[in-house]
Structure 1
């Protein structure tokens, strides 16, 4: 009895919670499951008033998307945070749940901000937002084998979501419920900096961490200057001091990195390309697949901690640069749509690699590439990261989007585009595009047969629009988003993703034997058409031998040809 009494005196009323994450408990060998991750943040929410776990809309798995907000002064109201000039950093984890370093690093970092006083200073001017697991669906599809080239963890999630979509190709097209919910979060909070955590495939080298930054040449000048002159150098220096020296993402010019690295053009289908449309600087961390998992988690932790520290330090500078960029986009006239890498310009970057060599394959007997880890090197190599625009358009005063195209309108609304509906049927003087040429992929890509190399012929005319059609003026923060989705030539336009494929089909045609007489009358009574027909036959002698081709040419140049065929339905008011 005496022993029992003594134990009661020395035992607290409740045991302190176990703050070790599943990753730490496993000695760095495992990653948290989806439920373990969410439960951990629920525990943080209950223990600390500075942490709040929000539940947003559903994902394709039927489970909600969560957002963790860490605010030292316990302010979780977006409008209030903006008024108080806080900088917002959004970290997204688990878009590819087989690449889970960010999931575990963010859990540890969120805890340490609460429990380590020296870290809290980095949150004086910053509110940290964390999406614990974005691809909830893929995280639930746990396995040990789908990442054949990767060194751990013991088990992990799958790249595809519940609809087998790669969510890092879904930002513009927004097919998944995951992407729609992410857009809601992004547009509500409008972060200043965005980080998407990944693991790379590809060459072997010494670096644990490589990095993709928003392509600098796409950014407004104030943001470009801050990124290239201040933030990136500081991140590189800080990661060097943390013993995780960084290199740019390893996309090689030749077979091995020594030949040089190529910059990555993150079009809006990708996370950092989407965020750039709204003047949010984006980063994609890429830890190296062959490094031990615990090292990859530590490198991700170091990067995230450093990023928050830098944003806190540069809070005023970031606010100013972003304000200038937001103002500039309101009046910007010309918008680049497509880009090409300029291989005549290269910087030098310090790269820590292994010598690439060849030896006979034990499988095929043919020469195969391998990296000799006994032949490590550190040297400056070329980095080609300058892009030039190949297509530039002048924005219209406004777009007119017929209400019939509901899928497109829904995406515009989701992205906070300001629109007004015509109160009555209205005839407007507009510019219309006719699609004169395009190429289509032979295989599906993320649920679509993508178009590319679109050519258009503009035509000015009066056209009747109906009550309820949408008028969108380009004097708003979403200007760049509008141009890059509604101009069909843009690489990730809604046209290229197939949202307007119905206009590529004819709905009416002709019977040859009937139209023969009609065509003859058209040629007889329309000398300009006869001249066009003669010129066509001279320019296309092989097609001219086909009776069908002759009739088709005359039909397409006659009043009988339907005007909506190949006519892009979104009009431009100039």
Structure 2
């Protein structure tokens, strides 16, 4: 009887250990990534084994109708974000599966969560939050869409249920996925954020490359710490573990030999969006042509090292975040766009494969290939400096008409403090008129992005109404406020077409009726007639077109709509006493 019980006990232990293996580990050659159902079931089962230090919290819904599940690990068994902050602990947020065809983070995180709990290795001063699978929609659309990738056997699709690339959606938040993510970000307020990915492009020897918040775009006090301490630690640690890294971008603008340009992650991307919240951010990019198991283990190790230094520097990271928030609250001028500085070039050691050409079996013409039998190590150029191409001085406050509901909703979601006018009020402030802009012929992520915006600022008096919103620019979230509301910003709300209705005229005139009105206007206003005559002398087309001359008079008359091409958000430049709710 004792032998039977002993055998049964051993069997149960074996089954329990087996149950804790992830689907990736259970697969014979580790060339398998978990499905959405397997991911959720695995975490639910793990939670039953470790209910004290682990929580599964659902946020909102995604576009496919399923909630976004956050895994929270807390050594002290505290899961209240406000209390965690009071205890001066750090919060690390990790995102997985934003592109479900790049699933390494999904499987690596499942193993990491189990090992941290099972081995009692949860950090003392860091609470770990992991989004189990961000693009649930794309993960359910399982197949073989990434034809150039070396495994796993099947995986999800890049686009979500609305065919949106969710790593281009953070600032505009068209998807419910992005809205749920923002709720997580503003609820937990992490100091460090990681988004796990897989790269494509050139072939080289590295399993993993790395994107960090571009140093010239990052809040300076955080950039100094990441450049001198955090990022070097991660590179050293990964090299020690056998997964040496380089910055992402080799071969993005030609062959790797041509050099690496550091990636500029504007606010449409996860890390660019997190930077607006003064969060230190990274993106891992494992290489698509390396074996899937190596990519998963590299991701696992990177997360371990990130947790370790977060614990080591927990107090310092907290102090830096607080100082960054204070500095941004007081900051006067904000960068809105950047371009790489080609004159500021550094060098980096690069381990690649010889690129060569041979005859294509498809076209019969020359085709590129990388010869893995000819590895090399050489010094290549590295462009890691960006210069600012557009800036704006913040006003005392922005005034946003309540009619622009999506802007108001996103500001609330992002934790922007706003107040409302108690009464209808006419304010003296600065308004922008859109003088010019460029728009592409084809849509990008469901929008026709405006660029090269030229503005004409005009001081004027404008009537606002009770309930319209006033946003003071004395907040830690100032970067988000200014970068979204200044139209010339690369990822501003204007760029993403939030305000396109102001670009169209609503009133016009009947030619035969306005002829007499225009004649009277010219008789009564010599300055207007002089202005028309000067314009005709400079523009033969105007001089030869009766219709164009009528339109010229109309546009310079009291009848022309003052709101045409007027950006609706006002800039309050002086500290005016307002009657607020």
Match of 1:124 in 2: 124
Structure 1 residues 408 and 251: alpha-carbon distance in aligned structure 2, compared to 1, 3 A threshold:
farther
Matched residue SS, 2:415: coil
Give 1:382 deviation, angstroms.
1.1
What aligned pairs does 1:168-567 form with structure 2 within 5 A after superposition? 168-252=167-251, 254-567=253-566
Cα contact 1:253–1:259 (8 A) shared by 2 = no
Matched residue SS, 2:343: coil
Matched, 1:22 2:23: yes
Give 1:254 deviation, angstroms.
4.6
Deviations 1:298-338 (Å, cap 9, x if unpaired)? 11111111111111111122112111111001110000101
Matched residue SS, 1:79: helix
Give 1:505 deviation, angstroms.
0.6
Give 1:366 deviation, angstroms.
2.4
Matched residue SS, 2:216: helix
Give the distance between the partners of 1:544 and 1:550, measured in 2 at CA. Answer: 7
Give the distance between the partners of 1:41 and 1:522, measured in 2 at CA. Answer: 75
Q: Which moved more, 1:365-374 or 1:171-180?
A: 365-374
Matched residue SS, 2:154: coil
Give the distance between the partners of 1:203 and 1:292, measured in 2 at CA. Answer: 16
Give 1:29 deviation, angstroms.
0.8
What aligned pairs does 1:43-82 form with structure 2 within 5 A after superposition? 43-48=45-50, 49-82=52-85
Q: Which moved more, 1:544-553 or 1:308-317?
A: 544-553
Deviations 1:478-507 (Å, cap 9, x if unpaired)? 211010111111011111111111101100
Cα contact 2:24–2:30 (8 A) shared by 1 = yes
Give 1:508 deviation, angstroms.
0.4
Matched residue SS, 1:211: strand
Q: TM-score, normalised by structure 1?
A: 0.97
Give the distance between the partners of 1:9 and 1:213, measured in 2 at CA. Answer: 53
Give the distance between the partners of 2:561 and 2:193, measured in 1 at CA. Answer: 47
Give 1:540 deviation, angstroms.
2.1
Match of 2:159 in 1: 160
Q: TM-score, normalised by structure 2?
A: 0.95
Give the distance between the partners of 2:253 and 2:269, measured in 1 at CA. Answer: 24
Give 1:542 deviation, angstroms.
2.6
Match of 1:107 in 2: 110
Give the distance between the partners of 1:268 and 1:418, measured in 2 at CA. Answer: 20
Structure 1 residues 528 and 342: alpha-carbon distance in aligned structure 2, compared to 1, 3 A threshold:
same
Give the distance between the partners of 2:287 and 2:543, measured in 1 at CA. Answer: 59
Partner of residue 7 from structure 1, selected from 4, 24, 28: 4
Give 1:102 deviation, angstroms.
0.1
Match of 2:577 in 1: none
Moved over 6 A (4+): none
Give the distance between the partners of 1:217 and 1:440, measured in 2 at CA. Answer: 27
Deviations 1:435-483 (Å, cap 9, x if unpaired)? 0001112111111111111111000111111111111111112211010
Give 1:11 deviation, angstroms.
2.0
Q: CA RMSD in A?
A: 1.4
Cα contact 2:249–2:263 (8 A) shared by 1 = no
Cα contact 2:535–2:542 (8 A) shared by 1 = no
Give 1:116 deviation, angstroms.
2.3
Q: Which moved more, 1:385-394 or 1:354-363?
A: 354-363
Deviations 1:117-167 (Å, cap 9, x if unpaired)? 4x44xx122111100100011111111x20011000001011111111111
Give 1:543 deviation, angstroms.
3.7
Give the distance between the partners of 2:97 and 2:332, measured in 1 at CA. Answer: 38
Give 1:14 deviation, angstroms.
8.7
Give the distance between the partners of 2:317 and 2:103, measured in 1 at CA. Answer: 29
The count of corresponding residues between Structure 1 and Structure 2 is: 567
Matched residue SS, 1:58: coil
- Segments of 5+ residues of structure 1 without an aligned counterpart are none
- Segments of 5+ residues of structure 2 without an aligned counterpart are 574-581
Give the distance between the partners of 2:79 and 2:378, measured in 1 at CA. Answer: 47
Match of 2:578 in 1: none
Q: Which moved more, 1:390-399 or 1:352-361?
A: 352-361
What aligned pairs does 1:90-105 form with structure 2 within 5 A after superposition? 90-105=93-108
